[in-house]
Amino acid sequence: MTFAELHAELQKLKAQGLLRERRILESAQGAHVRVDGRDYLAFCSNDYLGLASHPALIDATCRGAAQYGVGAGASHLIVGHSEAHHKLEGALAQFLGLPKALLFSTGYMANLGIVSALAARNDVVLADKLNHASLNDAALLCRAQFLRYTHLDLKQLERALAAARGRRKLVVTDAVFSMDGDIAPVPELLALCERYDAWLILDDAHGFGVLGEAGRGVLEHFGLSDPRIIYMATLGKAAGVFGAFVAGAEPLIEALIQRARTYIYTTAFPPLLATALLASLHLFSEEGWRRGRLRELIAYFKTHLGTARWRLLPSDTPIQPLVVGDNETAVRLAEALRARGILVPAIRPPTVPKGQARLRISLSAAHSKEDVRRLCEALKDIERTL
């Protein structure tokens, strides 16, 4: 492939309204940010509890740097597994009420590690069609038979499970779907896994810290506990820092230590971040009002938006998708908001299905009702003039 061919492909993306661009954040993450030299009200971060700039996390990070330095220096299995990492794994397992937890550098790496460690050519991976890309890539990487069922279609999933003849069956799903904001029917999925002897892998990246009275995620939300559940969550969203973890039965975690290539062959993330995350877990309990405020803002937004041209998908999570339809309109809508000092991302294919371009509005406990009211009024005004 020549550079001319690459240029032509990029021009084609631009013409289709699919070219992605980076913006430069010049401030700390928060409800109000400075981007590319201008101040904005932002509804585009996954910092759902507003912890990314919390003084307690900053202080813990400084103390961690003083004690452990800046870099881990090695993989976990050489000499990079610090005391701080070990304490955090124990604290995460205790917080969730699960036997063991294992840290990964990112959620993408965790999903690749789980699926590729547990499934191979003679196995079957069954996945919701709206799963995160990391789960799809994991299924392709492990070379198992890869079957995708229509979003939340439990009847189709059951037929596929009944017909599956693999040595091992894995059902993999987002717990909270990152672009739609809806919650997977985990009790029903678990019942199917029990009936057909399958493992259930839950990617709770957008539920951990948010769902449940104490923020323990989708398992607390539904009141579930089962050894066949493999639970993954990220630590850079509601927890406000960086990283990811897998939690579950002790043999599972030991198997991942031995087999998960994305765990074995990479440098551990800096231990100073583990000290920050220990402080974050403490705030999950000490500042539970953040989840209460988030629930209030979600309800306020859904009640006060009321646009006629665009459809708000049903979601009770901080992810509030406003489906616009075509790529050009989604981009124009995001630009109109930006002109009013409000940042909301336009999400287009292939991240979402063709014809379902949208604004992905992310609410945070760091927002106020006035912030949300300003967004609603801006959208209504743009609807009248766009």
Binding site members for pyridoxal 5'-phosphate? 107-108, 178, 206, 234
Catalytic residue among 105, 178, 315, 364: 178
Is 237 designated active site?
Answer: yes
101: which strand partners? 247
3-state SS track over 10-56: HHHHHHCCCCCCCCCECCCCCCEEEECCEEEEECCCCCCCCCCCCHH
Is 380 designated active site?
Answer: no
232: nearest Cα among 263, 265, 258: 263
38: which strand partners? 35
- Note whether 128 and 173 are within 8 A (CB): yes
Catalytic residue among 221, 237, 280, 364: 237
Question: At a CB cut-off of 8 Å and minimum separation 6, what does 14 contact?
Answer: none
Six-digit token pair at 215?
A: 């923020």
For residues 217 and 23, give the distance between their C-alpha atoms in angstroms, rounded to a whole number. Answer: 31
Which residues carry a binding-site annotation? 20, 107-108, 132, 178, 206, 234, 351
Tokens 């509601």 sit at which residue?
238
- Note whether 156 and 192 are within 8 A (CB): no
Is 75 designated active site?
Answer: no
Catalytic residue among 54, 206, 221, 367: 206
> Alpha-carbon torsion 314, 130, 194, 202, what sign?
negative
Catalytic residue positions, numbered: 178, 206, 237
